Amino acid sequence: MRILVANVNTTESMTAAIADSARSVASPGTEIIGITPRFGADSCEGNFESYLAAIAVMDAITSYPEPFDAVIQAGYGEHGREGLQELLDVPVVDITEAAASTAMYLGHKYSVVTTLDRTVPLIEDRLKLAGLAERCASVRASGLGVLELESDPERAVAAIVAQSREAVERDHAEVICLGCGGMADLEESVAAATGVPIVDGVRAAVTIAEGLLRLGLSTSKVRTYATPRPKTVVGWPLNR
Amino acid sequence: MRILVANVNTTESMTAAIADSARSVASPGTEIIGITPRFGADSCEGNFESYLAAIAVMDAITSYPEPFDAVIQAGYGEHGREGLQELLDVPVVDITEAAASTAMYLGHKYSVVTTLDRTVPLIEDRLKLAGLAERCASVRASGLGVLELESDPERAVAAIVAQSREAVERDHAEVICLGCGGMADLEESVAAATGVPIVDGVRAAVTIAEGLLRLGLSTSKVRTYATPRPKTVVGWPLNR
Amino acid sequence: MRILVANVNTTESMTAAIADSARSVASPGTEIIGITPRFGADSCEGNFESYLAAIAVMDAITSYPEPFDAVIQAGYGEHGREGLQELLDVPVVDITEAAASTAMYLGHKYSVVTTLDRTVPLIEDRLKLAGLAERCASVRASGLGVLELESDPERAVAAIVAQSREAVERDHAEVICLGCGGMADLEESVAAATGVPIVDGVRAAVTIAEGLLRLGLSTSKVRTYATPRPKTVVGWPLNR
Amino acid sequence: MRILVANVNTTESMTAAIADSARSVASPGTEIIGITPRFGADSCEGNFESYLAAIAVMDAITSYPEPFDAVIQAGYGEHGREGLQELLDVPVVDITEAAASTAMYLGHKYSVVTTLDRTVPLIEDRLKLAGLAERCASVRASGLGVLELESDPERAVAAIVAQSREAVERDHAEVICLGCGGMADLEESVAAATGVPIVDGVRAAVTIAEGLLRLGLSTSKVRTYATPRPKTVVGWPLNR
Amino acid sequence: MRILVANVNTTESMTAAIADSARSVASPGTEIIGITPRFGADSCEGNFESYLAAIAVMDAITSYPEPFDAVIQAGYGEHGREGLQELLDVPVVDITEAAASTAMYLGHKYSVVTTLDRTVPLIEDRLKLAGLAERCASVRASGLGVLELESDPERAVAAIVAQSREAVERDHAEVICLGCGGMADLEESVAAATGVPIVDGVRAAVTIAEGLLRLGLSTSKVRTYATPRPKTVVGWPLNR
Amino acid sequence: MRILVANVNTTESMTAAIADSARSVASPGTEIIGITPRFGADSCEGNFESYLAAIAVMDAITSYPEPFDAVIQAGYGEHGREGLQELLDVPVVDITEAAASTAMYLGHKYSVVTTLDRTVPLIEDRLKLAGLAERCASVRASGLGVLELESDPERAVAAIVAQSREAVERDHAEVICLGCGGMADLEESVAAATGVPIVDGVRAAVTIAEGLLRLGLSTSKVRTYATPRPKTVVGWPLNR
């Protein structure tokens, strides 16, 4: 089976890292394809960038030339998953939700540790809409931008460990979700330093997507995610 | 003062109708400018179309050549308001929220009557995120598509009156919000037939936007809606 | 049009200040009339005083000798708005709700900074009943009584600025509502000191009331706020 | 011990009936005193009447000439309990809350069956504020006014039984609360006809009040219900 | 009348203490019988022990040889109350719920102070299911195990007073519930040290149980708590 | 890897059916072992039976003589999962939660169709505690007992299809969860008849458990699910 893992920003090295991370937990026989949007920001840290990414991911996925079996939306707290579900017949898994639903099997409460303070409300809103917020103890910011995670991994680990400890000690989290598509490399160090299970959304999403495929299940088409009605759409697909 | 009222679909006649409706309640001295996106669907009735509209509205508003004082996002239950708030320094008012917050001054519970069944969850989700859902008795669908409202107004009134009555009698709504940017013309007939206050989101939004301007208030820039950080954005502005 | 702005306490100087504040944002042609109850406490800081004020405001409004177009209940966190809605056919706007619904257009979360700690639960309860609590980050007390705001404005600004900063930094509020009818004069200084939008409930209520009038809308009379049934009422109107 | 049971309307026969009902479950040695307000409506079926009753009950209780050990506020869904708690040092029990908290010991969900449709939102709001709404399956109206319960008990039983059955069968209630201070006489007939436990608020409140007294507990005075601060209050006590 | 008060652990001295405490508030004529389970842990501080206690309490109660009128489940935050309600026709009162519903008559918010940190989530979950969590300000742990309360009462008082003060000052609790069946002896000292009402669950439960009996009410048998259907049950009653 | 799938009742044929169903989606290399409790009821349809099953499952799992990698608690709406999590170091997956979290990837709202009306509240309570209730449109009963599913599959399909259709049409569910461990055989027929995705909890749980193992994650031991403290436990393990 083939799973497309869509980065939400245009940074190719991050796409590669995300795809590698996905591959590390994929079943034998699962092909992971990293997808980089053709337009958008080099990192998504707010609503404008996230809305643009939503459309860019839909553009990239629907113009992918080969068949595929599932899609992972690999942006944490980003817009767009519902649109992909309308456009596609295969399962779509958002990493914010995958991390949360996985964490909920591991502890009574979980926290998310993300990048900048300004992305906290985006994640909170996604969890609220997903109906997965009730057992979320907190969403905390490390203060590091998305691209700093790559450029300064040591500082990234330190900042994320610090916030994870606060989440466990003050907010009573028992599990930590790494709140950014590009944090997978940090999983091991953060786990070692905190002693609680650490969930990376991309990896979690691979297991969820494989599970749905194994169950033979895909998006319900009776209402919210029905295929768009035929109508005149100007300028789509974009740039073509 | 100048208020931009952004239609979310590409149907010019609907932009004109929306702008006329907005003008009917604007204060003397307020200039209403209807904005039609340069790309997107001729009607928005689902998530894909709505996400595309979100970007198309941001594209249209940020490329408007003259100064303006406020923006009304005139799509009911649509994505995008948060992105506009980041990109702009002037107030942004979404009609879903404007209708709801206005209705809440008029009765204990309100209902929304919208177009197709598939758009109901979009509206419910917007109200939930906006923190305005608690006094929402129901969101009901008339079964008519957005464009049918224009092409067959008599049937539209009948369908909306029927659902409004159900909302009042079964769901205990005391106020009805017309759940589509293009329903303003129906307000009077529905009010006459149901005996409850009818709120049109576009008109309500004009009064909210004018109110914010009169109070000298605009979007807080300290966190969620801070201006996007400077970064490389490929393909934006679109098509240019 | 004529809007009655009802103070909830018997302190005439506070009525005058509230009315002046209301006038500062009223549209040309709007006449603002300050109303002082004929009985009650010289400041409302708890439930007994607030219930008494509820009846005193109904007494004062229903005995106002001239026609009027809307009423603003200018007590923060006070009882009584629903009774006015039953007794009157014109719109009634409560300043607790007006501040909250206005703040929600300006930021992701808002806080209220009020007077005494004992009034915090009253405000929380009003927001909960109004369905406007979900995006409320916190209600904080400055520790100053209502009348101290007038007598020692400098200390009042300092205390309110201190709590507003806590609200922004710890509670993640992006907008501050001034939680007392008599705080309008402090708006500018608090805004300057905190850098976030400051909403005064009285001013916000004027724009909401004007908006409802412009929309031609008033309280729904089908259920909760229907005119009281004819019955024997002893001792009302009071003192007459 | 002496418990004051305050009727919220001015109908003396209803006070007598309420007091009799209270006596039927009071412990030996408990003296029940029925209190009729000196002013207000002959029945409370809406917010204006309820706010007036709130003050009238405070007036009547605080002018009661003898010592007493607890107060029962015997209006269902009425305002005022918080004010009494501030003014008094003895426990105050509201019958809406007493019925609900008692019902929650008897079944998984409970419903309230009340008088007129217009009083339903008042009861819902009281339960919400009391934090007792989550297990409330529904609040249903029998369509009979408060005074019709007394004048036509047969029709009252039939209407209440009919709504109680709907509550059990459709709303999955397992217990019914009689949602009016004057419904106690109907308890037996409704229980016989429905087969579920029927809770009368007045009777339930007597057991709660006696329980608090036996535990030696009364209202906390540290914050919300602290005694009102000394201040100038004009026109209180009323009419004196 | 006879009330069985079931300890959830096998420590006989704790059963005796609980029964004594219950007797201290029981009405004249009420016989309190302390019940110790025949199997289980000597203290319950987690889910395994609590589930075992649930069954052990059902075993002990259903094998009690004499008639009885009500049962009190005297474990704080423990499982099992629903099972007892199915098996019995007499009222069953859980002390977690009794403490909470009693506290809610005494202050705007209450906190629970319990033993170990690991039992906090159990209590939170019981309150959530009981629909009594909304006015719960916090559940705080003293850090002392159940048996340490008995062995070192001085340290217990100090730890509980410390957490109670935090609850009042930081979490805005106005009432404290002692979150363990074996804390009743501490009530007086904690009340003296904190100045807020202190609710012991066992004592509160006695008054609730007596109240239900006086009202002639018991568990509804129409749905959730209907008597188990006749079926083959292997190994029950246990150990016989 | 070896996964233990624990039936909650003592009916061996149901254990076999559940294990077969689990095997049908297990990955190559996963060994599925069906576990039947040594005591308890032949079907679980209420709280007493469910609490007994909770202990019986813990007894059976902890006395399983070989190593294993994960446990699936295969009772829908049953107690006990938290106890297993304390006692074990391997992941524990409850089928009620597995079905719900899987359904939430497939549609905006899901419903559960279960056996008897009396089990509905158990399922609702499990979903509420799990924080997975918000997107649950309804829990509906087919009216058939657990063992009737096996004895009369045709009638079972008809009853479940009927309720599923109601769930989709009236409650707006887009996905149906089969609310009983023994319903897996019905999945295909119900899917064919309703046109929406049908989720069987046992199968879903297998994919979740395998996913957790692939991610190298297990239950957090820092707080709620820490191993029980060493203490005297009488009568455990049971019957030995």
Rounded mean pLDDT, D62-85: 97
Rounded mean pLDDT, E52-58: 97
Q: How far apart are CA D58 and CA A39, in angstroms?
A: 68
B180: in domain: yes
C140 shares a domain with C101? yes
Cβ(E199)–Cβ(D217) under 8 Å? yes
- CB-nearest partner of D174 from E91, E215, E220: E220
Band of residue F148 on the pLDDT scale cut at 50, 70, 90: confident
Cβ(A14)–Cβ(A82) under 8 Å? no
Residues of F in contact with D172 (CB under 8 A): 120
* Model ipTM value: 0.97
C181 shares a domain with C108? yes
Cβ(B99)–Cβ(B207) under 8 Å? no
Chain A within 8 Å of E122 (Cβ-Cβ)?
A: no
Lookup: tokens for C10: 């018997």
Contact B107 C203 (CB under 8 A): no
A75: in domain: yes
Q: How far apart are CA C100 and CA B216, in angstroms?
A: 16
F171 shares a domain with F80? no
Q: What is the DSSP string of F175-237?
A: EEEEESGGGGGGHHHHHHHH-S-EEEHHHHHHHHHHHHHHHT-----SSTTPPPPS--EET-S
C209 shares a domain with C175? no
Evaluate the omega torsion of the peptide bond into residue C237 and state whether it is cis, within 30 degrees of 0.
yes
Q: Which residues have CB under 8 Å from A211's CB, separation 6+?
A: F102, F204, F207, F208, F210, F211
D58 shares a domain with D34? yes
- CB-nearest partner of B229 from A45, A50, A236: A45
Structural domain that includes position A21: 2-94+203-215
Single-letter code of the amino acid located at F10: T
Lookup: tokens for A99: 């991390």
For residue E31, what pLDDT is reported? Answer: 98
Nearest to F180 by CA among F48, F17, F34: F17
Residues 33-52 of C with CB under 8 A from D: 38-43, 45-52
Chain F within 8 Å of A129 (Cβ-Cβ)?
A: no
Give the chain F residue nearest A90 (alpha carbons): F106
Cβ-in-10-Å burial (0-12, 13-18, 19+) of A175 comes to buried
- D47, HSE (Cβ side, Cα atoms, 13 Å): 24
Band of residue F149 on the pLDDT scale cut at 50, 70, 90: confident
Rounded mean pLDDT, F87-101: 98
Contact F204 A211 (CB under 8 A): yes
Residue D108 has pLDDT above 60, yes or no: yes
Cβ(F76)–Cβ(F141) under 8 Å? no
Residues of F in contact with E124 (CB under 8 A): none
C47-102: pLDDT as tens digits: 999 999 999 999 999 999 999 999 999 999 999 999 999 999 999 999 999 999 99
F221: in domain: no
Phi-psi region of C4 (alpha: psi -120 to 50; beta: other; left: phi over 0): beta
Chain A within 8 Å of E120 (Cβ-Cβ)?
A: yes
- Angle C8-C9-C10 from CA coordinates, rounded to 5°: 130
D21: in domain: yes
A111-137: pLDDT as tens digits: 999 999 999 999 999 999 999 999 999
Nearest to F106 by CA among E95, A130, B91, E116: A130
Chain B within 8 Å of F170 (Cβ-Cβ)?
A: no
Q: Which residues have CB under 8 Å from A67's CB, separation 6+?
A: A2
D230: in domain: no
Residue E240 has pLDDT above 60, yes or no: no
Cβ(A218)–Cβ(A90) under 8 Å? yes
- CB-nearest partner of D229 from C45, C52, C236: C45
Residues 175-234 of E with CB under 8 A from F: 223-226, 228-229, 231-234
Rounded mean pLDDT, A217-224: 98
Which H or E element spans position A192? Answer: helix A187-194
B112 shares a domain with B197? yes
Rounded mean pLDDT, E154-178: 95
B78-96: pLDDT as tens digits: 999 999 999 999 999 999 9
Band of residue A182 on the pLDDT scale cut at 50, 70, 90: confident
Cβ(B133)–Cβ(B101) under 8 Å? no
Residues of D in contact with B172 (CB under 8 A): 120
B158-178: pLDDT as tens digits: 999 999 999 999 999 999 999
Nearest to F160 by CA among F136, F135, F185, F137: F185
For residue D240, what pLDDT is reported? Answer: 52
Cβ(A95)–Cβ(A8) under 8 Å? no
Residues of F in contact with B121 (CB under 8 A): 108-109
With a pLDDT cut of 90, the percent of chain C lying above it is: 88
D63 shares a domain with D12? yes
Give the β-pairing of E110-114 and E175-179: parallel
Band of residue D186 on the pLDDT scale cut at 50, 70, 90: confident
For residue F239, what pLDDT is reported? Answer: 57
F168-209: pLDDT as tens digits: 999 999 999 999 887 878 888 899 999 999 999 999 999 999
- CB-nearest partner of D225 from E107, E212, E225: E107
CA distances to D104, E133, E228, F123 from D108, rounded to whole Å, are: 7, 15, 16, 13
For residue D152, what pLDDT is reported? Answer: 86
Chain B within 8 Å of F172 (Cβ-Cβ)?
A: yes
Which H or E element spans position B150? Answer: helix B146-151
Single-letter code of the amino acid located at A32: I
Residues of D in contact with F120 (CB under 8 A): 172
Give the chain E residue nearest F221 (alpha carbons): E118
C47-61: pLDDT as tens digits: 999 999 999 999 999
A235: in domain: no
Which H or E element spans position C169? Answer: helix C153-169
Lookup: tokens for D202: 């007045």
Give the chain D residue nearest B107 (alpha carbons): D121
Q: How far apart are CA C116 and CA C191, in angstroms?
A: 21
Average pLDDT, chain D: 95
C180 shares a domain with C125? yes
Q: Which residues have CB under 8 Å from F103's CB, separation 6+?
A: F110, F175, F176, F177, F197, F199
Contact E233 F40 (CB under 8 A): yes
Nearest to B77 by CA among B125, B30, B33, B42: B125
Question: Which runs of consecutive H residues, i.e. helices, occur in chain D?
Answer: 12-23, 47-62, 81-87, 95-103, 120-130, 146-151, 153-169, 187-194, 201-215
CA distance C144 to chain E (A): 18
Band of residue F240 on the pLDDT scale cut at 50, 70, 90: low
Mutation to test the B interface, candidates F110, F135, F171, F172, most B Cβ within 10 Å:
F172
Domain count, chain E: 2
Band of residue B240 on the pLDDT scale cut at 50, 70, 90: low
Interface D-E, measured as beta-carbon pairs within 8 A, has a size of 134
Mutation to test the F interface, candidates D104, D106, D108, D168, most F Cβ within 10 Å:
D108
Residue A6 has pLDDT above 60, yes or no: yes
Residues of A in contact with F225 (CB under 8 A): 107-108, 174
Band of residue A151 on the pLDDT scale cut at 50, 70, 90: confident
D150 shares a domain with D91? no
Q: How many CB atoms lie within 10 A of CB E230?
A: 6
Chain E within 8 Å of F145 (Cβ-Cβ)?
A: yes
Cβ(D47)–Cβ(D122) under 8 Å? yes
Rounded mean pLDDT, C196-219: 98
What's the CATH code of the domain at A71? 3.40.50.12500
Residues of D in contact with F121 (CB under 8 A): 108-109
Residues of F in contact with E56 (CB under 8 A): 235
Give the phi and the psi of residue A180 in degrees, each rounded to 5. -165, 140
Cβ(C212)–Cβ(C70) under 8 Å? yes
E119 shares a domain with E196? yes
Rounded mean pLDDT, C199-218: 98
C63: in domain: yes
For residue C239, what pLDDT is reported? Answer: 56
Beta-ladder partners of C110: C136, C175
B24-79: pLDDT as tens digits: 999 999 999 999 999 999 999 999 999 999 999 999 999 999 999 999 999 999 99
Rounded mean pLDDT, B145-153: 84
Give the chain A residue nearest F131 (alpha carbons): A134
A127: in domain: yes
Beta-ladder partners of E110: E136, E175
Rounded mean pLDDT, D145-174: 92
Nearest to D207 by CA among D62, D84, D103, D78: D103
Beta-ladder partners of D111: D138, D176
Bigger pLDDT: F236 vs A164: A164
Look at chain D and count its residues.
240
- Angle A196-A197-A202 from CA coordinates, rounded to 5°: 145
E192 shares a domain with E171? yes
Residue E238 has pLDDT above 80, yes or no: no
A136 shares a domain with A39? no
For residue B187, what pLDDT is reported? Answer: 87
Give the chain E residue nearest C122 (alpha carbons): E108
Lookup: tokens for E14: 């704790």
- Angle C58-C64-C66 from CA coordinates, rounded to 5°: 140
Chain A within 8 Å of C108 (Cβ-Cβ)?
A: yes
Single-letter code of the amino acid located at E1: M
Rounded mean pLDDT, F155-178: 96
